[in-house]
Amino acid sequence: MTDSTRALDLKTVLISTGVVLTLAMGVRHGFGFWMQPISQANGWSRETFSLAMAMQNLLWGAFGPFAGMVADRYGTMRVVIFGALCYMAGLVWMATVTQPLLFVTGSGVLIGLALACTGFGAVSGIIGRAAPPEKRSWAFGVSGAASSFGQFLMMPVEQVLISTMGWQNAFFLLASAVIFLMLLASRNLREPKHEVAAGGHHQSIGEAWREAVRNRSFLLLLAGYFVCGFQVVFIGVHLPAYLKDKGIANASVAVMALALIGLFNIFGSFTAGQLGGKLPKRYLLSFIYFARSVVISLFLLAPLSQWSVYVFAAAMGFLWLSTVPLTNGIIASVFGLKHMSMLAGVVFFSHQIGSFLGVWLGGYLFDLRGNYDIVWGIAIALGVMAGLANLPINERPLVREPQLKAA
């Protein structure tokens, strides 16, 4: 295929980015299973491991805009390859380092960089460039479903690896799988220069940044994504420990709960992508945030049992990452594709600030008070605030004055 034809095949792009997202999100979502064995082996409190997870999420967000800039400028393939190398190094680091400060900083930098280069923000640009406008929201939904499948697939795999091989050997095996499969998938993400630079209106990175941060709808997306990060990472990391504290000692219940979140997230992400092409995305986002607050409230009020956990996991799973295709769809429709990955990275940075606070506050307040009650309450209140914040978002494309060509 030559540069004169459309070089990006949507099916190939979705399969390849799907493999990358499956591994990146699947491995990352299972880190909660390592909290207790690592803490016990090294004599750490839960706050130490929680701080490491918080640093990973914060740096993931901080590196995200830069990874997106490089992907938009030089292509997604290079970014994914670098991310795969960082992911492998980060998993090996977590398996071998026993000094708390080194564990927190090293795993934070390496895994944070890895996720920035292999997560949604980094691959959103190539998906947007490969998909025609009428299929773009659907394509973002498919990519979200792929990451959800990774969570569903990897949760039981990681728990079995830890129980049969030990937590250190489990890290080593996952590091090998990540580097091999991500490098294999990245070969299909090469973009010719005209595709990478596509976007119509000529605009520098600085101009795109200033345009976005002065846009009220963009700032509202930032606020909503902050809440999304707080809720999902707090639940994803601390739910296994919360269930054990409440008397559900059978580890398979937590494994099944996290797997159900991943399973139902497949349907939720795909459904959100489908509906996002037919209904206003801002209303769908508001519904998701309001619904999360309702689901969390009902879970806390109902008698805790194995089945109440499964119902909660299924409901939260349907709402889990369904925000991703809708948020990315609004960014693409409002600002265009030229700086899609960079702007998605900026929004995701807000998500990761929320993730940092959610996972860290979970550990800090547990060590301080002996329970998670306050953090659950914050998650409910933030969901209501995010639902309100998304209602006034304007989804219409920005109208820019045409630039005059030099004579």
* Euclidean distance between CA atoms 188 and 181, whole angstroms: 12
**CA distances in angstroms from 48 to 45, 121, 360, listed in the order given:** 6, 28, 9
| The two three-digit tokens of residue 206, written as one number | 């600085």
Report whether pLDDT(367) > 70. yes
Taking alpha carbons only, the member of 314, 316, 292, 312 closest to residue 303 is: 312
Average pLDDT of 163-171? 92
Report whether pLDDT(252) > 90. no
Q: Which residues of 5-35 are buried (b: 16+ CB within 10 A; e: fewer)?
A: eeebebeebbebbbbbbbbbbbbbbbbbbbb
| The two three-digit tokens of residue 69, written as one number | 């800039």
Measure CA 83 to chain center.
15
Q: Enumerate residues 6+ apart whose C-beta is below 8 A from 397.
A: 333, 334, 336
Average pLDDT of 150-175? 88
Quick one: pLDDT at residue 4?
36
Quick one: pLDDT at residue 195?
54
Quick one: pLDDT at residue 384?
95
| The two three-digit tokens of residue 110, written as one number | 């390496």
Average pLDDT of 250-264? 83
Asked if 367 and 46 count as a contact pair (C-beta separation under 8 A), the reply is yes
Taking alpha carbons only, the member of 189, 178, 219, 188 closest to residue 122 is: 189
Domains present along the chain, CATH in parentheses: 10-390 (1.20.1250.20)
Per cent of the chain over pLDDT 90 is 34
Report whether pLDDT(128) > 90. no
pLDDT tens, residue by residue, 71-123? 888 888 999 999 999 999 999 999 999 999 999 999 899 999 999 999 887 88
Average pLDDT of 162-189? 93
Report whether pLDDT(150) > 60. yes
Report whether pLDDT(276) > 80. yes
Among the ranges given (228-232, 263-267, 367-371, 389-393), the one the predictor scored with the smallest mean pLDDT: 367-371
Taking alpha carbons only, the member of 262, 261, 319, 267 closest to residue 142 is: 267
Helix axes 205-213, 216-245, angle to 10 degrees: 80
Quick one: pLDDT at residue 396?
86
Report whether pLDDT(254) > 50. yes
Q: How confident is the model at residue 405 (pLDDT cuts 50, 70, 90)?
A: very low
Report whether pLDDT(247) > 80. yes
Taking alpha carbons only, the member of 264, 339, 299, 254 closest to residue 66 is: 339
Q: How confident is the model at residue 298 (pLDDT cuts 50, 70, 90)?
A: very high
Quick one: pLDDT at residue 208?
80
Average pLDDT of 174-193? 88
Among the ranges given (164-173, 201-210, 257-266), the one the predictor scored with the smallest mean pLDDT: 201-210
| The two three-digit tokens of residue 193, written as one number | 């220069």
Q: Which residues of 77-98 are buried (b: 16+ CB within 10 A; e: fewer)?
A: bbbbbbbbbbbbbbbbbbbebe
